Amino acid sequence: MTVQQEYEVLRQVPFFAEIEPPKLKALAYVSERVGFDDGKVVFRQGDPGDAAYLIIDGEADIVLEDPVAGPVTVATLRVNDIVGEMAILTHEPRNATVRAKGRLTALRIGKDPFMRMVREFPSMAVSIMQELAHRVNDTNNQLRVARSELAQLRSKTAANAA
């Protein structure tokens, strides 16, 4: 993939929509196209946040690794989704594992260029905040459903025991 093609890919992503073309081309230039076969790990829960990944082609699962419950897939990423930015922004280890679901192609954007764009383009920071707020809302909704299902299960179990 050429820098021009990577630039065209980046242009389609809402995070990068308002970045000036020369700056976006520079980001494309310092980004790396990477591929993963089905089941291969993009990054693991607990890894340092050294890059964000923009899905160019294919899908990836976000998997929470729980020592008691085992791995739980909580979401699937698709074309133009970005992942890994939270660890960059928080300077915390990755909070989930990302695994290719089928053949996956992504654009790897290093921490320094990513943060430079966030600082330089407030619209990108706002887009990231909106995406993160959306994810928190989705997680809260999933938690609400899980709690409701757990309460129903407990109620059934108590009724059967009586």
Q: How many domains does the chain have?
A: 1
The answer to whether residue 56 is domain-embedded is: yes
Range(s) of the domain holding residue 91? 32-161
Tokens read off for 25: 């081309």
Q: What CATH number should be reported for the domain holding residue 92? A: 2.60.120.10
In one-letter notation, the amino acid at residue 100 is: A
Confidence (pLDDT) at 95: 93
Q: What is the DSSP letter of 82?
A: E
Confidence (pLDDT) at 1: 67
The answer to whether 84 and 49 have CB atoms below 8 angstroms apart is yes
Confidence (pLDDT) at 8: 85
Confidence (pLDDT) at 35: 97
**How far apart, in whole angstroms, are the C-alpha atoms of residue 87 and residue 2?**
28
pLDDT tens digit at each of 162 positions of the chain: 688 888 888 888 877 877 888 888 888 888 999 999 999 999 999 999 999 999 999 999 999 998 888 898 989 999 999 999 989 989 999 999 999 999 999 999 999 998 988 888 887 778 888 888 887 888 788 878 888 888 888 888 888 887
The answer to whether 45 and 95 have CB atoms below 8 angstroms apart is yes
The answer to whether residue 92 is domain-embedded is: yes
Confidence (pLDDT) at 20: 84
The answer to whether residue 21 is domain-embedded is: no
The answer to whether residue 45 is domain-embedded is: yes
**How far apart, in whole angstroms, are the C-alpha atoms of residue 37 and residue 118?**
30
